[in-house]
Amino acid sequence: MDWLVAIAEFLVNEILSVPAFLIGMITAVGLIALRKSVGQVIGGAMKATLGFLLIGAGATLVVASLGPLGIMIQGATGAQGVIPTNEAIVGIAQAEYGARVAWLMILGFAVSLVLARFTPLRYVFLTGHHILFMATLITIVLSSADVNAGIVIALGGVLLGILMVSLPAFAQPWTRRITGDDSIAIGHFGTAGYIAAGATGRVVGGKSRSTEDMKLPESLRFLRDSMVATALSMVLMYVVVGVIYLIRAGGEEAFQAFETPASNVGNYIMLSVTQGLQFGVAVAVILFGVRTILGELIPAFQGIANKVVPGAIPALDAPIVFPYAQNAVLIGFISSFVGGLIGLAVLSLWLNPVFGLALILPGLVPHFFTGGAAGVYGNATGGRRGAMVGGFVNGLLITFLPAILLQVLGAFGSENTTFGDTDFGWFGILIGYGAKLGPVGGLILIALIGLALLGAAVIFQKKVVDTGWDPAPNRERTTGSAADAAATGAASGDGQGAVATTTYRKIRPPAGAPKPPPPPASE
């Protein structure tokens, strides 16, 4: 049976866990279903794959740029604790549960396709690395509760499949509010944070204008370029935090934050400036990769929708919404990070001494990706105030949920790292404490949780999503469709065309009515 395990691990580790390959295969299948030529199939699949590799390259640059800043923040504040890092905890778990994770992931993906085909939840979850992360979380929680390996794979696979079609459905009204149509969904296990941001934005937004409508003096007009604004903000953050760290820790220790040692204070400051500028480059690379994917994947998905899963909607990674409100990404990131700092203070002063919860340090990478997306969702329903408060709420969630989640990870709860995004937190806590009821009662309760989630998603899809419910009916929508964003961004080439300025109608036509012609990509 070793060869079966080897095949499963190869499929998971080398193909299904690599989003670029998964997206390329899905694109190729869609183009084949559309009866495209061999050249068009290969070219489209390659461009979609390269688009995801661009996102990965940008994410790597983000991580590299934020690494020294994390060290500086920890040194400047003196905080010690757990930094949630999905990749780290998954890597640790692979050594013990690699085979279980592999089979659970394969079964979960198959279950999700069956559910997408035969239920109203027509979402195909394409974020391969998050599928791997959730499969690992489920495996750790169930295995730590001494559940039989076969049951872990069977029950865990069903749970994973349910999550992959249900969570995009719950977020779809807010996602549609951002994109203007149902061409894409969010396929990222930070969904609870995005829904919370969108809901909060509606409450606090009032007449607050969109982050993309910020009026700047002529002398500050250059800040409308998202790459420049992002880089400048990060340069300021780097320099301020770096100087505080330098004063507190002294030159010798502070210089060690950079892999290239600084030789003097001037060199140290300029290295901080360079890291901030590299962050701006990283964001630009991510946005270009998103536009490349959208330009290829959306047309190709028409083939899958017609042949494999009728009416299928691709559920994609969090950065897929970044081009729709680029100023909101930066606002959401900063607000989420501030929420993480305040959450850390609450843990330090109250929850840790009283309840023994671990101190969760605000990791800049999860705060950037989930906080940035939360800012976009908050802006869609509440403008600038929505982006700020929505990002802040997300920051609190990804601080408190991981602290509680550590309680149900068994031996992995002492590894000084954990899962970071909101859905890992609330779902892991539910099944973790459910498993504590015993080998029989616990499994029954976990199965009921899965069925309840699926049933609620089906009802939500029929009663809310399919009826065209708008979470912010009194607010003008200032973003275009996904195709508009891709086409405009590709045409402009300057990073500013990704968000169309056309306003969409607030009232949708009834189901089955012919769609009106799309508005122009730019005015």
Closest CA to 369 of 437, 317, 306: 317
In a domain, 518, yes or no: no
Q: Among all chains, which residue has been given the structure tokens 């994973």?
A: 160
Helical H segments across 180-312, by residue range? 191-205, 226-249, 251-254, 265-307
Residue 380 sits in which domain range?
2-480
How far the first Cα of the chain sits from its last, in Å, is 61
- pLDDT above 70 (res 217): no
Q: Does the structure show a pLDDT above 80 at 364?
A: no
Integer Cα distance of 373 and 367 in angstroms: 9
pLDDT over 90, % of the chain:
34
pLDDT at 128: 75
390 found inside a domain = yes
Helices (H), 15-148: 19-33, 38-77, 86-118, 128-144
Q: Which of 349-363, 371-385, 442-456 has the lowest mean pLDDT?
A: 349-363
Confidence label for 49 from pLDDT (cuts 50, 70 and 90): confident
* Residue 491 falls inside a structural domain: no
Secondary structure of residue 419 in the 3-state scheme: coil
Q: pLDDT-derived band of residue 506, with 50, 70 and 90 as boundaries?
A: very low
How high is the pLDDT of residue 194? 98
- The three-point CA angle 125-477-499 to 5° equals 70
CA distance 44 to 50: 10
Which helix (H) or strand (E) segment holds residue 42: the answer is helix 38-77
Q: Residue 116 pLDDT more than 70?
A: yes
Encoded amino acid at 121, one letter = L
As a whole number of angstroms, the distance between CA 189 and CA 20 comes to: 18
Tokens 């509680």 -> residue:
404
- Which of 111-125, 171-185, 403-417 is predicted with the least confidence, judged by mean pLDDT? 403-417
Number of domains making up the chain? 1
Q: What is the pLDDT of residue 483?
A: 43
> Percent of the chain, pLDDT > 70?
83
At 91, list the tokens.
């890597």
| pLDDT tens-place string over residues 64-106 | 777 787 778 777 766 656 778 787 788 778 778 877 887 888 7
Residue 80: Cβ within 10 Å count: 10
Is the predicted pLDDT of residue 398 greater than 90, yes or no? yes
Structural domain contains residue 331? yes
Has residue 516 been placed in a domain? no
Dihedral angle at the C-alpha atoms of 259, 265, 267, 272, nearest 10 degrees? Answer: 60
Tokens encoding 338:
């501030």
Residue 504 within any structural domain of the chain: no
Residue 508 resides in a domain: no
The larger pLDDT score, comparing residue 132 to residue 22, is at: 132
Q: What's the whole-number average pLDDT of the chain?
A: 81
Instruction: State the pLDDT confidence band at 306, using cuts at 50, 70 and 90.
Output: low
Residue 79 domain flag: yes
Q: What is the CA radius of gyration of the chain?
A: 23
pLDDT (0 to 100) of residue 370 = 94
pLDDT of residue 397: 97
Q: What is the pLDDT of residues 429-439, one digit of tens each?
A: 999 999 888 88
Confidence at 503, pLDDT banded by 50, 70, 90:
very low
Whole-number pLDDT of residue 480: 45
* Confidence tier at 33 by pLDDT (50, 70, 90): confident
